[in-house]
């Protein structure tokens, strides 16, 4: 069994055994009988000592291997037997050019499971179609860049003549296009002990009813991220189990792959060809069993002496250190072998992969003939008929689509793409009310919007079997490049109705964020989530209006972002999470500013198995870090709550979202942090309102009523006032239209604001 990670663009691979590799030249003289004896002894010893010999906590690959050996029943025994079987089949081959057997084209049904949360990881169909096309060029040695293969290895390059086709029949015999979309929080793939070392995650594959059978389909799980629980940095691009690790049909006999490396740019999609190479039995060309993380530093080899499952030698790839995210020129010194390094090999780490060797092609084809490898059933006539890659069926489409951004500023380009299921389509019809263009028949139309608002999109997908239409309301949100609020704001939800044009809601579970009209810290209202009955693991979001923090910070240098929260856990093991993010580009991208989970988020220490409703003493003030964005003229915030993944969920409440001075009063009555006693009432009102504040010492005062752009509409006073209570009135001298205004009080240059609603 083998597992591998791609860190910072390079794939790290580890074989389950630490048998010392022999050079190709010496291997030819070793008799099979001694190989069998030594292999059995060394394998038993090294499987038991793998943790001691190879642990490197910087990447977690060794831990993944140890997990499989120690915790997955039968793996160690199958690996041991596979080594013995491989030795029996071993035939020494010359180190020179081998002969390529006349392989006929053979086809494997491939299925992509797109795990997503309606984010960019929900990639368009075309990206997958392009990836499959690239795989077929790689496995048939047909890519145009094969003309650039170094002459020495051009003669040693081999085509497997393996073809990958998207399935057209699902496990029940119904139509599919081989792209299955699953909306799930599992898009962050957790390969740690909490998920039984990742085994629990393979919920769409297996041999039970309705599952995608690994004996018939090559299943690829496309995910947003892969977490191994290790301490090393970098991005995990993917991993797979090698042939024979499991009994045929095991649900984990699949490839897990980071969606971000499926694009064709910089040959990123070659990483998928690399993963499938492992799935078909190939190690890295620089394989060093004693040092699995040795790319670019230690000599290694992919000959059979260091493997546990091979059934043919790969003697035409020289020993090498490997090229780590580089592409050394041909002729660069190879200190590991008399031959040059095969840095263009797809099983290297290099940035210029373009070929397999004849030996590698031969091994992959032979893997497909062996029962123990759990791969032979993939290419039988019965399987090809059952998966629809032979005599494919064409069914009417089930229309769907995605956009490269669902939130943007006015004038931004938004690209729409097909993500239809059930079948491949041949024509596209789009309607974009409010957009330019308003209609299109292109496969990937680019649309702009000139006016802020929330827009619907309608799409019709068509092929020879029929058409299907889907409409998505409130799909595209367009924001102004000018912030809604130019002055500080405190929102206690007492005088507004949510959702509205400024406060938006986006929910992923069975319940929504709502404006609660009976519970609040200030008054009787707040934003709340009846999470007690939510979907396990659901992600729920609400968005604030946009703010000109630059202007607010200039007027009020002590600006802070605070809010009130109340939350109680259903159990002491529950791990609910609240995050606050900011966006400076109208919601296209987001940066985290606040995060708390579990006991840190809870405002009540004890657990509560009943639906939580807070008392006045069960709220807490939280502060969001905004120092890095104080210069931004147009910034959005969003509150994101993630329900407990195991269903131990309880309610959460948010109130008094305050962006301004920390001592600003936020309710009628005494402010908690000062004795200013600054209040506006009634609020809401009909255009006439009262303003009261208290001064403990004489101060220079300016009291204004301003609009959303900061323009002064009414001036009540601008002079020095003495100690005591002061009362003023706004609205009698001006006719105010319905809308939102601000009472702006400046005390010795320090600004306080209160939002005012005129009905």
d(CA 493, CA 515): 8
The whole-number pLDDT of residue 447 equals: 98
Residues 6+ apart with CB under 8 A from 703: 691, 715, 716, 717, 718, 728, 743, 744, 745, 746
d(CA 148, CA 341): 15
Phi, psi of 249 (to 5 degrees): 95, -5
Among the listed residues 369, 232, 375, 356, the one whose alpha carbon sits nearest the alpha carbon of residue 284: 356
Among the listed residues 586, 560, 559, 551, the one whose alpha carbon sits nearest the alpha carbon of residue 708: 551
Task: Name which of 206-210, 261-265, 268-272, 544-548 the model is least confident about.
Answer: 261-265
Segment 725-754 shows an average pLDDT of 86
Mean pLDDT of the chain: 81
* Domain at 403-479, CATH homologous superfamily: Immunoglobulins (2.60.40.10)
Q: Which of the two residues, 603 and 4, has the higher pLDDT score?
A: 603
Domain ranges of the chain: 2-387, 403-479, 489-660, 679-758
| CA dihedral over 19, 25, 30, 36, signed as positive or negative | positive
Instruction: Enumerate the β-bridge partners of residue 113.
Output: 180, 221
Length of the chain equals 759
Residues 6+ apart with CB under 8 A from 29: none
d(CA 639, CA 580): 5
443 falls in which pLDDT band (50, 70, 90)?
A: very high
- Is the pLDDT at 83 greater than 50? The verdict is yes
Instruction: Enumerate the β-bridge partners of residue 741.
Output: 756
- Name the DSSP letter for residue 280: T
Task: Name which of 203-207, 332-336, 459-463 the model is least confident about.
Answer: 332-336
Rg (CA), the chain: 32
Task: Name which of 114-123, 185-194, 391-400, 610-619 the model is least confident about.
Answer: 185-194
HSE (side-chain half, CA atoms, 13 Å) at 692: 13
The whole-number pLDDT of residue 313 equals: 53
Encoded tokens for 349: 């780490």
The whole-number pLDDT of residue 45 equals: 31
Segment 120-139 shows an average pLDDT of 93
| CA dihedral over 325, 330, 335, 341, signed as positive or negative | positive
- Is the pLDDT at 611 greater than 50? The verdict is yes
Q: Report whether 354 contacts 148 (CB < 8 A).
A: yes
- Is the pLDDT at 92 greater than 80? The verdict is no
Torsion (CA) 737, 743, 744, 745 in degrees, nearest 10: 150
Q: Is the peptide bond before 741 cis (omega within 30 degrees of 0)?
A: no
89 falls in which pLDDT band (50, 70, 90)?
A: very low
Instruction: Enumerate the β-bridge partners of residue 446.
Output: 415
Number of CB atoms found within 10 A of residue 38's CB: 15
The model's pLDDT over 355-374, given as tens digits with 9 standing for 90+, comes to 999 989 988 998 898 877 78
- Is the pLDDT at 53 greater than 50? The verdict is no
- Is the pLDDT at 746 greater than 70? The verdict is yes
d(CA 6, CA 486): 46
Strands 217-223 and 255-258, how do they pair?
parallel
| CA dihedral over 602, 532, 637, 404, signed as positive or negative | positive
Q: What is the DSSP string of 335-347?
A: TT-SSPP-TTBTT
Q: Which residue has the tokens 């041999």?
A: 207
CATH of 489-660, one of 3.90.470.10, 2.60.120.200, 1.20.1260.10, 3.40.50.300: 2.60.120.200
The whole-number pLDDT of residue 520 equals: 93
> Is 679-758 in the same CATH topology as 403-479?
yes
546 falls in which pLDDT band (50, 70, 90)?
A: very high
Level-2 CATH architecture, domain 679-758? Sandwich (2.60)
The whole-number pLDDT of residue 212 equals: 98
Q: Report whether 726 contacts 462 (CB < 8 A).
A: no
Three-state secondary structure call for residue 672? coil
- Is the pLDDT at 434 greater than 80? The verdict is yes
The model's pLDDT over 221-280, given as tens digits with 9 standing for 90+, comes to 999 998 876 544 567 788 888 888 888 999 999 999 999 888 755 456 688 998 999 899
Strands 106-116 and 179-183, how do they pair?
parallel
Enter the CATH code of domain 2-387. Answer: 3.40.390.10
The whole-number pLDDT of residue 509 equals: 65
30 falls in which pLDDT band (50, 70, 90)?
A: very low
Instruction: Enumerate the β-bridge partners of residue 219.
Output: 111
Q: Which of the two residues, 159 and 7, has the higher pLDDT score?
A: 159
302 falls in which pLDDT band (50, 70, 90)?
A: low
Residue 75: its H or E element: helix 75-89
Q: Which of the two residues, 297 and 523, has the higher pLDDT score?
A: 523
305 falls in which pLDDT band (50, 70, 90)?
A: very low
d(CA 277, CA 347): 7
d(CA 86, CA 91): 10
The whole-number pLDDT of residue 306 equals: 35
**Rounded to 5°, angle at Cα 633 from 632 and 636:** 75
- Is the pLDDT at 731 greater than 90? The verdict is no
Q: Which of the two residues, 483 and 90, has the higher pLDDT score?
A: 483
Three-state secondary structure call for residue 558? coil
């Amino acid at each position: 069994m083998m597992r591998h990670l791609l860190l910072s663009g390079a794939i790290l691979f580890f074989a389950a055994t630490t048998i010392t590799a022999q050079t190709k030249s010496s291997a030819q003289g070793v008799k099979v009988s001694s190989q069998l004896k030594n292999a059995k002894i060394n394998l038993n010893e090294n499987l038991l000592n793998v943790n001691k010999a190879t642990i490197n906590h910087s990447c977690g690959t060794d831990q993944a291997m140890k997990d499989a050996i120690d915790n997955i029943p039968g793996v160690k025994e199958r690996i041991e037997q596979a080594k013995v079987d491989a030795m029996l089949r071993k035939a020494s081959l010359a180190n020179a050019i081998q002969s390529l057997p006349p392989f006929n084209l053979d086809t494997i049904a491939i299925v992509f499971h797109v795990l997503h949360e309606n984010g960019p990881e929900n990639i368009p169909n075309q990206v997958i179609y392009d990836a499959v096309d690239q795989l077929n060029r790689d496995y048939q040695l047909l890519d145009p860049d094969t003309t650039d293969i170094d002459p020495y290895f051009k003669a040693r390059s081999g085509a497997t003549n393996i073809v990958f086709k998207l399935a057209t029949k699902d496990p029940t015999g119904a139509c599919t296009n081989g792209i299955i979309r699953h909306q799930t929080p599992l898009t962050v793939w957790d390969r740690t002990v909490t998920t039984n070392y990742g085994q629990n995650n393979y919920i769409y594959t297996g041999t039970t009813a309705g599952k995608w059978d690994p004996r018939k389909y090559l299943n690829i799980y496309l995910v947003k991220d892969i977490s191994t629980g290790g301490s090393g940095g970098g991005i995990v691009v993917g991993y797979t189990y090698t042939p024979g690790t499991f009994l045929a049909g095991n649900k984990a006999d699949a490839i897990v792959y980071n969606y971000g490396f499926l694009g064709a740019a910089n040959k990123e999609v070659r990483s998928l060809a690399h993963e499938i190479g492992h799935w078909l039995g190939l190690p890295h060309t620089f394989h060093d069993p004693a040092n699995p993380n040795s790319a670019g530093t230690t000599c290694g080899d992919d000959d059979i002496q260091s493997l546990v499952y091979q059934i043919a030698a790969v003697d035409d790839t020289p020993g090498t250190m490997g090229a780590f995210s580089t592409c050394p020129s041909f002729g660069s010194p190879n200190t590991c072998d008399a031959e040059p390094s095969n840095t263009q090999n797809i099983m290297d780490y290099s940035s210029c992969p373009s070929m397999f060797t004849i030996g590698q092609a031969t091994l992959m084809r032979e893997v497909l003939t062996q029962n123990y490898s759990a791969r032979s059933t993939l290419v039988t006539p019965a399987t090809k008929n059952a998966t629809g890659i032979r005599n494919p069926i064409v069914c009417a489409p089930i229309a769907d689509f995605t956009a490269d951004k669902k939130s943007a500023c006015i004038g931004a380009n938004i690209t729409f793409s097909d993500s239809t299921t059930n079948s491949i389509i041949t024509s596209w019809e789009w309607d974009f009310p409010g957009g330019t263009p308003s209609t299109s028949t292109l496969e990937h139309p680019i649309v702009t919007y000139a006016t802020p608002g929330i827009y619907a999109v309608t799409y019709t997908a068509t092929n020879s079997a029929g058409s299907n239409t889907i409409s998505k309301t409130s799909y595209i949100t367009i924001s102004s490049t000018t912030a809604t609020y130019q002055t500080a704001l405190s929102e206690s939800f007492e005088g507004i109705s949510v959702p509205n044009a400024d406060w938006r809601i986006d929910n992923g579970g069975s319940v929504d964020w709502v404006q609660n009209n009976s519970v609040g810290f200030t008054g009787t209202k707040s934003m709340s989530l009846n999470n007690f009955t939510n979907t396990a693991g659901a992600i729920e979001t609400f968005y604030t209006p946009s703010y000109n923090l630059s202007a607010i910070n200039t007027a009020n240098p002590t600006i802070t972002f605070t809010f009130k929260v109340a939350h109680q856990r259903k159990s002491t093991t529950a791990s609910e999470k609240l995050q606050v993010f900011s966006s400076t580009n109208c919601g296209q991208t987001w940066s985290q500013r606040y995060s708390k989970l579990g006991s840190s988020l809870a405002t009540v220490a004890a657990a509560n198995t009943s639906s939580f409703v807070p008392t006045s003493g069960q709220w807490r003030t939280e502060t969001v870090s905004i120092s890095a964005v104080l210069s931004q003229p147009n910034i959005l915030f969003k509150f994101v709550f993630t329900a407990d993944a195991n269903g131990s969920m309880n309610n959460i409440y948010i109130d008094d979202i305050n962006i301004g001075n920390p001592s600003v009063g936020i309710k009628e009555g005494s402010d908690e942090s000062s004795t200013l006693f600054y209040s506006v009432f009634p609020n809401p009102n009909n255009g006439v309102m009262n303003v009261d504040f208290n001064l403990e010492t004489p101060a220079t005062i300016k009291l204004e009523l301003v609009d959303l752009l900061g323009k002064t509409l009414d001036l009540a006073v601008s002079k020095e006032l003495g100690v005591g209570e002061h009362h003023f009135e706004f609205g009698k001298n001006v006719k105010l239209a319905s809308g939102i205004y601000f009472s702006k009080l400046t005390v010795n240059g320090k600004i306080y604001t209160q939002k005012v609603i005129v009905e």
